[in-house]
Structure 1
Amino acid sequence: MENAHPPLATVMDLLLDAVCVVDPDGRYLYVNASYERIFGYSAAEVLGKPMIELVHPDDRERTLQAAREIMDGQPKLHFRNRYLRKDGSVVDIQWSARWSEDQRVRIAVAHDVTELRRAETVQAALLAISEAAQTDGDLHAMIASIHQIIGGLLPATNFFVALHDARRGVLEFPYFVDEHDAPPGPMPIEEATLSSEVIRSGQALLITPDLQATLPPHLQRVIGHDAVDWLGVPLCTADRVIGALVVQSYHSTTRYTAEDKQLLQFVSAQIASAIERKRSRASLEHLVAHDPLTDLPNRNCFHERLEQALETAQQQNLRLAVLYLDLDGFKGINDRYGHELGDLLLHEVGQRIRHCIRQSDMVARLGGDEFVVMLYGISHDEDALAVAEQIRTALLEPYLLEGQTLRISASIGIALHPEHGAEKKPLLRHADNAMYAAKREGGNRLALESVA
C-alpha cells in the first residue's frame, strides 16, 4: 500500500512558519521554504552561515544569551527578537526553540509577529500620548514627550509640529528639532510650503525623490535644507485641522514608506486631541490669570508671583522692588472721550510699561487705572529708581488712538525688599503710600518712602 502522506520535506515547506536547524556554533544546517518568505534569503544563501549575523545588532547579545540557555536544557517558547531582512527592513520574530543533545543541533520555529508587534507598539504609543497630554508643563514640553514616543515608532531625528493660528492666519512652530535648520518664525498660512499644503488639504503628504518632480511648481521651492524624504500628516480634531506633524530625513539610509504614513495618520488624531486639550487648558489658565483688557497678569496672579519671588529672595538673599502706578487724570480722559478710547489707552499704557522692564520682571494691572511692577533681583536702590523714571518718561509720550492724540502721566510709588518689608502686605502698603505721596505732590513723579 502506498504511503498517502507527502514526504516530510514537503510538509516542512508547506508550513507558514520558518523552521531552522543550527549546529552548536549557530550555523544554519537547514531552513524550510518559509524562511525565504519571512527573512528574504533563500536556503542556499544562508546554509553554513552564522544565524547571529542576520540578527538586528541591538538584539544580538541577548539572542546569544538565549541560545546558551537553550543549549543548557532550557527550551524557549516565546522568545522575541528582530532580524534584518535581505532588503534591509526589520522583521520581528517570536521563536520556539529547543536543543537536541542526541543530534547536537538546535531546532527552532520562527513566527513573524511584525504586524502584531507594530499593533502593540502603536497601542502603547497611544496610551503614552494620552498620558503626556495629562501631565503638567507647557505645550513645548508635551510635544517633546510626543516626539520621543514617535521616535519609538519610526525614525524621527528631524521632527516638528506646525500649528495654525486661525485668528492671525499664520503658522507657528512651537516645537522644531532639526539637524540643520533653526526653528522658523511665524509665517502666513498662504505661504507655499509643504506644511501649509498638508493643513489646507487635510491630507497626508509623503515626498520622496521620485515624487519631487511631480509636485506643483509652487510646492517645489525648498525652505531650509533639502530633505531626502519628507512626511507630513494633518493634525485633525473633530471639526478642523489644527496643524501638521512632520518628520524628514536628510540621509539615504533613512527613508519613509506608505506604512510610515499610515502609522503617523493613525496616531495623529490622538496627538491632535492632546495638543488641543493642552492649548485649551493653557488658554483657560491664561484667562484666569490675566486681565482681559490689557492681557497683563491680573491682581491674583501678581500676588501669587510676588509671594513666590519673596520666598526665593529670602532664601537666596536677593533684593527686589515693587512699583505702584496710578495714572494722573485718567477719569477726565474717560469722561471726555468715552470708555472705549479709555480702554485703548490702558492697553497702550500696559504695553509701554512692559517694554521698560526685563523679561524676568513683571507688570500687572490691578484694576481701573492702577498698575504694579515687580523688579526682581535688583542690585541697588538706584536700579529701581532708574526703571521707574524710564516708565514715567515713556508714559508721557503722546498716544495716537482712533485719530485722537492723548497725553497722560503717572504717579509712581516705590517700595524695596527687604528695607520696607520681607512680606507681601507691608511691601505693597509702602508702595501704595509712596504712590499717594507722589499724587499729593502734583503727580507725574516718583516717590520712595524713607525707611524708619
Structure 2
Amino acid sequence: METRNAAPLASYIDLLLDAVCAVDVDGRFVFVSAACERIFGYTPEELVGRSMIELVYPADRARTLEAAREIMAGQAKPNFENRYVRKDGSVVYIMWSARWSEVDQLRIAVARDVTERKLAESKQTALYAISEAAHGAEDLLTLFKRIHQILGEWLPASNFSVALYSEAEDELSFPYHVDDREPQPQLPGTATGSICAEVIRSGQPLLLTPGNHGALTDVLEAFSGHETTCWLGVPLNALTGTIGALLVKRAPGDARYTEQDQELLQYVCAQVTAAIERKLLLARLQHMAQYDQLTHLPNRALLHERLHSALARAHREGGRLALLYVDLDHFKQVNDTFGHGVGDLLLQEVAHRLTACVRETDTVARIGGDEFVILLDSVQQPEDAVVVVANVERALLPALNLEGHCLTIQPSIGVALYPEHGTEEKPLFKHADEAMYGAKRARRSKVMTPQV
C-alpha cells in the first residue's frame, strides 16, 4: 500500500544539525540547508550562486580543489577536513562527507562543524610541540623561531613578535620579531610596541579587531591607514609578574582572530613563559659561573678558557699573544680607611677603565681581590704589549671621586709574552705574576695615596 508524503524533502533536511549542500560543476552552490547559516554565518540566499572555493581558508584551497576533482572523478570522500572562513571573519573547521551525482551533475555534501574538537586537539598538539621545543632548543632565539612555526600551523601568524620586559631597567626589547611593515618595533609610537606595552602593563590578553581598537585607536589607525587590521597579544605571566608578551598580527586576506585563538595562544604562553624562565635562569647561572659579580668582568675560570683557546690558535697559526698581570698597590689601605663600599666602587671604576684600553677581541678579567689580568689576543709584536701597558697606566692616572673621597690609583703591571716566556698557561701566568711583583718592588714607594 502506498503512502503519500506531502512534506517537502527540504523541510526534513533543514532540521539536520549538519549542513547539506550541492555544488555544480563550476564549483558554485546551487542548494544549501538551513544549518549552513549557523555553521558559516551566511544565509542560504547569500550562498546560492557563490563560488565554494571563495569561502575556503586560503591555506586549504589547493587541497580542497584537489579533493573536489577526485570526487567528480567518482571517488567518495567520507571524512575530508578543511577550514572555512565565516562571514564574521572567524575560522571554522569542517568535516565533509561528499560524493558526485553523475545524473544531477552535482557534488552532494554534508558538512559537520568540528571546530570545538579541532581546537581541543590543537591545544594539546601545540602544548606538546611547544614543550618539546622548549626542552630541545639550545637558546631562546631558536625557541622563538620554533614557536612561530608551530603557531603558524594553527592560526594566521605570518607577523609574529616576542617582547620581553626588564623591570630593573624599565626596558622593552624584542628578541624575535617578524613584520615587514614594521621592522623596528622598539621605536616610540609603533603599533607593535604600543600593543605589547599595554598587554604587559595590564597583564591581560588583548584582542583588537577592525573597529574595536579601544584606547589604542589613534596609534593603530596611524600605523595601518585604512587597512582593516587584527592583532592578538597575550602576556607572558610568571610568578614574579609579567615578563613579556607574544603578539600576532594577521596579514591582509587572513581570517580575523577569535576568542578561541586567544585561548590557544594563552595555553602556548604558559609553556613559553616557563621555557623563558628556565633559559634565563640557566643564563644567569652560567653568567655567575663565568663572571665576577662585582665588576661583571670574566672571572678566573672564563679567563682560563679563553687563554686555552688563544694558545691553541696561536700555536696553530704561528701567532703571538700577551698576558698582563695588573695589581693595585695599597688597595687594602682603601678598604681599611674608607670601608669596603668605597673599595668596591674603586674596583668597578678600574674595571671600566681597563676595558676601555683594549680591543673587543681581548679579555679583561678579575681573578680575585685587586688583581686583574688582560689577555691580548693576536698581538703582532712584543711592543704592542708595551703600548697597552702605557695606556693602562695613563687610564688609571686620573683621580677618582668616590663618595666624597678623592683617590689616585697606581698599578703594578707584569707582562708575559707567547712564545718568549712560555707556550703553556702555567709558565705564562708565573712569568707575568713574577714580573708584576718585580715592578712593585722596583717602585719602592707608596703608589696609592688616599687624599681627603
TM-score bracket relative to the smaller structure:
0.7 to 0.9
Mapped pair 1:83 → 2:84: yes
Q: 1:256–1:109: structure 2 CA closer, same or farther, 3 Å change rule?
A: closer
Query: Is 2:228 the counterpart of 1:226?
Result: no
SS at match of 2:14: helix
Question: In 2, Cα distance between the equivalents of 1:96 and 1:220?
Answer: 44
- CA gap 1:377/1:121 in 2 versus in 1, 3 angstroms: farther
SS at match of 1:323: strand
| Aligned 1:25-44 pairs, distance under 5 A | 26-44=27-45
**How much has 1:5 moved relative to structure 2?**
9.6
Give yes or no for contact 1:307–1:424 (8 Å, CA) kept in 2: yes
Instruction: Tell me, yes or no, if structure 1 residue 400 matches structure 2 residue 397.
Output: no
Q: Higher mean Cα deviation, 413-422 or 280-289?
A: 413-422
Would you say 1:8 and 2:5 are equivalent positions? no
Assess if the C-alpha contact under 8 Å between 1:139 and 1:174 holds in 2: no
Are 1:180 and 2:182 counterparts? yes
Q: Which amino acid in 2 is paired with 1:344?
A: L
Verify the 8 A CA contact 2:64 2:82 in the aligned structure 1.
yes
What secondary structure sits across from 1:108 in the alignment?
Answer: strand
Moved more, 396-405 or 145-154: 145-154
- Is the Cα–Cα contact under 8 Å of residues 410 and 443 in structure 1 kept in the other structure? no
Partner of 2:157: 155
Q: Compute the displacement of 1:161 (Å).
A: 0.8
Corresponding residue for 2:448?
none
Structure 1 residue 411: Cα displacement: 2.4
Q: Deviations over 1:401-426 (max 9, x none)?
A: 22211122222233344555554334
Q: 1:246 to 1:57 in 2, by over 3 A?
A: closer
Aligned length: 433
Structure 1 residues 229 and 365 mapped into 2: Cα distance closer, same or farther (>3 Å)? same
Q: Is the partner of 1:441 in helix, strand or coil? A: helix
In the TM superposition, what are the counterparts of 1:432-443 in structure 2 within 5 Å? 432-442=433-443
> 1:367 offset after TM fit, Å?
1.1
Cα distance in 2 for residues equivalent to 1:98 and 1:31: 15
Letter in 2 for 1:226: F
Normalising by structure 1, report the TM-score: 0.79
**CA distance, structure 2, for counterparts of residue 58 and residue 230 of structure 1:** 19
Amino acid of the residue matched to residue 426 of structure 2? K
CA shift for structure 1 position 443: 8.6
Matches of residues 154-303 of structure 1 in structure 2 within 5 Å? 154-155=156-157, 157=159, 159-165=161-167, 167-168=168-169, 170-175=170-175, 177=177, 178=179, 179-180=181-182, 182-184=184-186, 195-207=196-208, 210-211=211-212, 215=215, 222=219, 226=223, 231-247=232-248, 256-303=257-304
Over residues 219-253 of structure 1, what are the superposed CA-to-partner deviations in whole Å (9 max), with x where a residue is unaligned?
78859963555544332123533333344579797
The separation in 2 between residues aligned to 1:193 and 1:23, in whole angstroms, is 49
Whole-Å separation in 2 of the counterparts to 1:246 and 1:173? 13
Distance 1:397 1:442 in 2: 19
Whole-angstrom CA distance in 2 between matches of 1:138 and 1:3 = 74
- 5 Å matches for 1:324-403? 324-403=325-404
Whole-angstrom CA distance in 1 between matches of 2:328 and 2:187: 36
Deviation at 1:155, TM superposition (A): 3.4
Supply the AA of the counterpart residue of 2:298.
Answer: P
Deviation at 1:342, TM superposition (A): 2.2
Distance 1:423 1:278 in 2: 35
CA positional deviation for 1:94: 1.9
CA gap of 1:150–1:100, structure 2 versus 1, over 3 A, is: closer
> CA separation of 1:49/1:262 partners in 2, compared to 1, >3 Å: closer, same or farther?
closer
**TM superposition score normalised by structure 2:** 0.79
Question: Take 1:288 and 1:124, find their aligned partners in 2: how far apart are those partners?
Answer: 37
Match in the other structure for 1:20: 21
Aligned-pair identity (%):
51
Please report how far the alpha carbon of residue 366 of structure 1 lies from its aligned counterpart in structure 2 after TM superposition. Answer: 0.9
Secondary structure of 1:226's aligned partner: helix
The one-letter amino acid paired with 1:240 is G
